[in-house]
Structure 1
Amino acid sequence: MRLLIVGRLDGQLTAATRIAIDKGAAVVHADSIDTALKTLRGGRGADLIMIDVALPIAALISALEAERIHVPVVACGTATDARAAVAAIRAGAKEYIPLPPDAELIAAILAAVADETRDFIVRDDAMAFVVKLADQVAASEASILVTGESGTGKEVLARHVHGKSGRAGKAFVSVNCAAIPEHLLESELFGHEKGAFTGAVARRIGKFEEATGGTLLLDEISEMDVRLQAKLLRAIQERVIDRIGGGKPVPVDIRIIATSNRNLGEAVRAGTFREDLLYRLNVVNLKIPPLRERPADVVALAEHFARKYAVINGIEPRGIAEEAKRELIASRWPGNVRELENTMHRAVLLATGPEIGVEAIRSPDGGRLDATVESRTRDAASAAAMTAEAVTRALVGRTVADVERDLILDTLDHCLGNRTHAARILGISIRTLRNKLNEYTAGGLEVPQPGESRIAAA
C-alpha cells in the first residue's frame, strides 16, 4: 500500500503518517499539490492520497482528472472543521479523516482502498496444492494467471508469488482494470508525454515503468478493452512500452501476474478477449478453489478473524463453539473469504458467552446462518416455485428493454452506486454496464452515483 501525504508534516498530520507506516503503508510526503503531482508523474506512484483539508482539494482533483491519473483522495483536518469537511467531499474527496487521527479509522480506510485481506492462512489440502504450485513457479519469470471467484484471495496469492520470487525486493504494483475507466487505463498503464492530450502538462510515468524490476498485477484483466489488449500484448512480448504521445519505445523489466473471476476461454469465444494475449498470460494457471470447497480453511480463517477483531475492538478473545464451527462449514460462502471475515467481525461483537456460539453467526440483516446447505437449497426451490407464477404475471405486457433497465438500476441501487459490484451481481462486464448507464442517462433517467441510492439521485 503506497500512501502519498500532501501538506505540512507537523502536529496531527505527523501522527497520521506514523500510524499509516505502522499499518504497513509505504508513505511519501509532498508539501504542496505541485510537488505531489511531480511525484505521481515521476513514477513513484500512490494507491491513496491523504491531503490536508486546508489545501485546494478541488484543484488537485481537477489536475488528476486532466492528466488521467487515477488515484483516490481522502481529506484530513480538525474534527471541529465540519464546513471544510463538507467542502472536501463536494470537491471529490472519497472520505474525510478527522484529526487527531484514530489508528483503526486510518487502518480501515487503507484496507478499503486495498480492497483485500493480507491474511494468508492455509490449512485445507485443496488450497495447499495451489500454494505449493505457486511456490514452485515463483522463482521463474513466467507470466501467471490467477483465477477464482471474487473474494477467494487472488491478490493475496499474487503477493505471495512476488514475495517468493527473485523480484521480492522490488516494487509490487497493482492495477484494477475493472475500477479504472477505459479512457484512463491506457495512460495509467503506459504513461504519457507532455502535450499528448489536453491536460497533459508534463510527462507521466505509468504503472509498467513504476513496476520495472518488480511485479505488475493486472487485476480483473477480463474487463480490459480489446483495443488496449493489443498494446498490452506487445508490451509483454517485446518488453517495451509506448507512452501515449511518445516517439520511441521504452524498455521495461517486469513480471506479469493477472487475475480474473471470469472464464477467459469463454471471453475469447465471445470476442471480448484476445486469444493470443490469453496464451501469453496463462503460462501457469493458479486456480483458487472457492471457500466452500476448503472446509479446513473455513475454521482456521474464522478463528484467525475472531482473534483479529477481538483485539481491534478491545474484547477478550474467545474460541468458537463446535456447533458454530459446523454452522460455518455448512455455509456456501458466495462472498468467500471476504464474506467470512465480515461474518466473524459481526460474531465477535454479538457473542455474549465464553465462546462464540451459533447465535452470534448471523447474516448482515440479522438472520441466522443455521440452515444446512441442503435445507437452504430446498427452501430456495420451494420459494422459487411459489413466486415464479407471480413474477411471470408481473412481467407480462412489459418489453425486455424495460425489464432489463429496471433490473440494472435496482441492482445499482442495491449496491449504492458501486458499478463494479453491480456488474458482478448482474453477470455482465463493467464495460457493458457503463454503456447501458450512458444510454439511460442520455434518455433523461437519473443514474445513481457511487454512494447514492436512486432516491438520493432523484
Structure 2
Amino acid sequence: MRLLIVGSLGGQLTAATRIAMDKGASVVHADTLETALRTLRAGRGADLVMADVAIPIAALIAALEAERIHVPVVACGTSTDARAAVGAIRAGAKEYIPLPPDAELIAAVLAAVSADNRDLVVRDEAMLAVVRLADQVAASEASILITGESGTGKEVLARHVHRRSNRADRPFVSVNCAAIPENLLESELFGHEKGAFTGAVARRVGKFEEASGGTLLLDEISEMDVRLQAKLLRAIQERVIDRVGGAKPVPVDIRILATSNRNLADAVREGSFREDLLYRLNVVNLKIPPLRDRPADVIALAEHFGRKYAEVNGVPHRPLSSDAKRELIAARWPGNVRELENTMHRAILLSSGAEIGVEAIRSPDGARFEARVESRPADAAARAAQTAEAVTRALVGRTVADVERDLILDTLDHCLGNRTHAAKILGISIRTLRNKLNEYSADGVEVPEPGTARIAMA
C-alpha cells in the first residue's frame, strides 16, 4: 500500500509513519499541501493520504477534486483537538486518527482503505480452474482480459495476478473506464501538460506513467470511446504515450490487465470496439463463471463475509443454519459476489439467535429472500425431465421401424440430403443408410436428394 503523509514530521507523526511502515505501507512524506499536490501530479501515486490537521484539510480535498486526483484522505492530530477533528470530517476526510498514534487503529485504517485486503475466496472447482490458469500466466508479461458478469470479482482476480507476477513489488494502478467522463479519460490515462485545456493548472502524470514498472488495470474497458481506443492501442504496442498537450512521447514500462462484463467479440461486430485492440488485450482470457454456477463458492464466501461483518459491527459470529445455506445456494445471484456480500451484511445485522437462520436472508427492501429466487437449478432439471417424459410418451404405440425411419429422414433433412454427413450423425455406415433409403423409396416415402430438404406435408 502507498501512503502519503502530509505535514511536519514532529515526534508523534513520525511515530505514525513508523507504525505504517511496520504494517507494510510504502510511505512518502510531503511537508506542505503544495508539495503533496506536486508529488501526486508527478505520478508518485498514493492509495491513502494521511494529513495533519495543521494542514488546511478542506483546501487539500478541494484541490484533489479540482484536479480529479481520486485518493481517500484521513486526518490526524492531537486527541484533545476535538474542533479540528470535527472540521476535518466535515471537510471530507474519511477518518480521524488521534495522536499519539495507536498501532491497532492505524492498522485498521490502512486495512479499511487498502484495496489489497480483498481476499480471493475460492472453493468451487469451476473457479479453481480459472485461478490455476491465472497463476500459470501471472509471471508472464502477457496482457490478460478478465471477463465475467458484473460483481463476479474481476478486479479481485486482477490484483491476485499482480501479486503473483514479477511486478508484485511495483504499483498496481486501476482505472475505471466507465466511471470517468469520455472527455477526461484521455487525460486520466496519459496525463497532460500545463495549459493543455481549461483547468490544467500544472503538468499531471497519467495512470500509464504512475503504473510504470508495475501493472495497469483498465476496468470495464468496453465502455471506452472507440476514438480513444486507437491511442490506447498505440500505447500498448509501442510502450510510449503522449500527454495531452505534450510535444514528445513518453516511454512506459507496464503490464496491461483489462476487464469487461460485455462480450467484446459482439462489441467488435457492432463497431463499438476495435478488433486489433481486442487481439492485443486478449492474449490470455480469464473467464469468471457467475456465482450461480459456483455453489461451493457461495457458502465459502457467505461464511467469509459473515466473519468479516460480525467483526466490523462488533457482534458475535454466528454460523449459517442448514436452511440458510440451502436458500443461498438456490438463489440466482444476478449481482453475483457483490450481491452476496450485501446480503450477508444484512443477515449479520438481522440475526439474533445462535445461527443465521433463513429468516435473516432478506432482500434490501426487507422481503423474504426466497420470494426473489427467479429460477432454481432444481426447477430447470424438473422441466427437462418433464420434456423428456413428454417425448417418450409421444413414441408410445409406434413401431421401432416407424421411429427409426422418422429419425433417419429427419437427420437427412437436417443435413440437406448429404448422405455421408447424416450417416456420421446417426452412427451407421453409408451402405446401411443407402439400403434404408432404398427401402423407404420402394415404399413410396419421399427421400430428399443431396442439396435439398423434404417438403413438409400438411
- The TM-score normalised by the length of structure 2 is 0.71
Q: More deviation in 163-172 or 286-295?
A: 163-172
2:129 alignment partner in structure 1: 129
Deviation at 1:186, TM superposition (A): 2.0
Alignment partners' CA distance in 2, 1:337 and 1:66: 34
User: Contact 2:89/2:96 (CA < 8 Å) preserved in 1?
Assistant: no
User: Contact 1:240/1:249 (CA < 8 Å) preserved in 2?
Assistant: yes
1:301 alignment partner in structure 2: 301
1:288 alignment partner in structure 2: 288
Number of equivalent positions = 375
Paired residue secondary structure (2:4): strand
Question: Root-mean-square deviation (CA), in Å?
Answer: 3.4
Alignment partners' CA distance in 2, 1:314 and 1:239: 49
The residue type paired with residue 252 of structure 1 is V
Q: More deviation in 340-349 or 279-288?
A: 340-349
What does residue range 166-205 of structure 1 map to in structure 2 within 5 Å? 166-205=166-205
Deviation at 1:232, TM superposition (A): 0.8
Alignment partners' CA distance in 2, 1:223 and 1:78: 45
User: Contact 1:320/1:356 (CA < 8 Å) preserved in 2?
Assistant: yes
1:404-428 deviation line (CA, Å, top 9, x unaligned): xxxxxxxxxxxxxxxxxxxxxxxxx
- Rg: which structure is higher? 2
1:47 alignment partner in structure 2: 47
Paired residue secondary structure (1:174): strand
Judged with a 3 Å threshold, the aligned counterparts in structure 2 of structure 1 residues 80 and 66 are, in CA distance, closer, same or farther, namely same
1:250 alignment partner in structure 2: 250
Judged with a 3 Å threshold, the aligned counterparts in structure 2 of structure 1 residues 141 and 375 are, in CA distance, closer, same or farther, namely closer
Determine whether 1:270 maps to 2:270: yes
Judged with a 3 Å threshold, the aligned counterparts in structure 2 of structure 1 residues 270 and 47 are, in CA distance, closer, same or farther, namely farther
User: Contact 1:298/1:329 (CA < 8 Å) preserved in 2?
Assistant: yes
2:357 alignment partner in structure 1: 357
Q: More deviation in 66-75 or 163-172?
A: 66-75
1:323 alignment partner in structure 2: 323
Alignment partners' CA distance in 2, 1:187 and 1:111: 29
1:86-122 deviation line (CA, Å, top 9, x unaligned): 866776x3645474799789957975784x9711111
Identical columns (%): 79
What does residue range 375-390 of structure 1 map to in structure 2 within 5 Å? none
Q: More deviation in 79-88 or 358-367?
A: 79-88
Deviation at 1:295, TM superposition (A): 0.3
Paired residue secondary structure (1:205): coil
Task: Give 5+ residue unaligned stretches, structure 1.
Answer: 378-458
Task: Give 5+ residue unaligned stretches, structure 2.
Answer: 378-458
What does residue range 139-154 of structure 1 map to in structure 2 within 5 Å? 139-154=139-154
1:220 alignment partner in structure 2: 220
Paired residue secondary structure (2:369): coil
Alignment partners' CA distance in 1, 2:18 and 2:287: 38
Deviation at 1:195, TM superposition (A): 4.0
Alignment partners' CA distance in 2, 1:150 and 1:22: 36
Alignment partners' CA distance in 1, 2:4 and 2:208: 19
2:32 alignment partner in structure 1: 32
Judged with a 3 Å threshold, the aligned counterparts in structure 2 of structure 1 residues 369 and 223 are, in CA distance, closer, same or farther, namely same
Q: More deviation in 182-191 or 150-159?
A: 182-191
Alignment partners' CA distance in 1, 2:167 and 2:95: 36
Alignment partners' CA distance in 2, 1:374 and 1:258: 31
Alignment partners' CA distance in 2, 1:264 and 1:168: 28
2:334 alignment partner in structure 1: 334
Alignment partners' CA distance in 2, 1:248 and 1:177: 25
Deviation at 1:170, TM superposition (A): 2.0
Judged with a 3 Å threshold, the aligned counterparts in structure 2 of structure 1 residues 19 and 346 are, in CA distance, closer, same or farther, namely farther
Alignment partners' CA distance in 2, 1:290 and 1:375: 14
The residue type paired with residue 343 of structure 1 is T
The residue type paired with residue 323 of structure 2 is E
Alignment partners' CA distance in 1, 2:316 and 2:18: 27
Judged with a 3 Å threshold, the aligned counterparts in structure 2 of structure 1 residues 15 and 321 are, in CA distance, closer, same or farther, namely farther
User: Contact 2:127/2:294 (CA < 8 Å) preserved in 1?
Assistant: yes
1:175-212 deviation line (CA, Å, top 9, x unaligned): 12222233332222222234434554543322212222
Judged with a 3 Å threshold, the aligned counterparts in structure 2 of structure 1 residues 63 and 231 are, in CA distance, closer, same or farther, namely same
Deviation at 1:126, TM superposition (A): 1.0
Alignment partners' CA distance in 1, 2:343 and 2:365: 11
Deviation at 1:73, TM superposition (A): 4.5
The residue type paired with residue 132 of structure 2 is K
Deviation at 1:40, TM superposition (A): 0.7
Paired residue secondary structure (1:173): strand
User: Contact 2:187/2:243 (CA < 8 Å) preserved in 1?
Assistant: yes
Judged with a 3 Å threshold, the aligned counterparts in structure 2 of structure 1 residues 372 and 40 are, in CA distance, closer, same or farther, namely closer
User: Contact 1:221/1:259 (CA < 8 Å) preserved in 2?
Assistant: yes
Deviation at 1:68, TM superposition (A): 5.0
The residue type paired with residue 131 of structure 1 is V
1:52-88 deviation line (CA, Å, top 9, x unaligned): 4553345434544554544455556689988767866
Paired residue secondary structure (1:28): strand
Judged with a 3 Å threshold, the aligned counterparts in structure 2 of structure 1 residues 341 and 67 are, in CA distance, closer, same or farther, namely closer
Paired residue secondary structure (2:209): helix
1:427 alignment partner in structure 2: none
1:446 alignment partner in structure 2: none
